[in-house]
Homo-oligomer: A and B are copies of this chain.
Amino acid sequence: MKVKVSRKEHFNAAHRLYNPAWSDEKNAHIFGKCSNPNYHGHNYEIIVTLTGTPDPETGYVFDMKVLSDLIREHVTSKFDHKNLNLDTEYFKGLNPTAENIAVVIWKILRDKIDSSLDLKITLYETERNYVEYPAP
């Protein structure tokens, strides 16, 4: 029988939604105030969920301290107090919507964690908007 374990971390970042294939007018029309040229920002909350079988010796699916360290080393140290569009390699050609940020974080962490464990990312952009990847 499997157990899910989840760890919550956070980062604060600026971003702007923008499709370079479109005119500024179309960007403003589609993305509204989220496309403000001078950026806006969020306190992002990230939840990393692993699914697996508890180790009989430790009773852990995964050590939450180790998971916290992995998220901080590979994700929040790169995104915290950054401009996602300008300061990170991940969104040079990718629009930093909550959907795309969650997929990027999943790809960063997937090969840092044993493949026997399922991995899911939940990302809160605000208390009222959040996304989960992958969806079953």
> A residues bordering B, Cβ < 8 Å?
1-10, 12-15, 17, 19, 21-22, 30-34, 36, 38-43, 51, 54, 57-61, 64-65, 68, 80-83, 86-87, 94-100, 102-103, 118, 126-136
Contacts and interface: CB of A to CB of B under 8 A. Distances in A.
A41 B54 contact: no
Contacts of A100: 54, 59
Number of copies: 6
A40 B58 contact: no
A41 B15 contact: yes
Given A33-B81, A94-B59, A100-B54, A129 B42 contact: no
Contact of A41 (B3, B33, B40, B98): B40
Give the secondary structure class of A's interface.
mixed
A39 B42 CA distance: 11
A16 to B, nearest CB: 9
A129 to B, nearest CB: 5
B3 A38 contact: no
A131 B6 contact: yes
Nearest to A19: B57
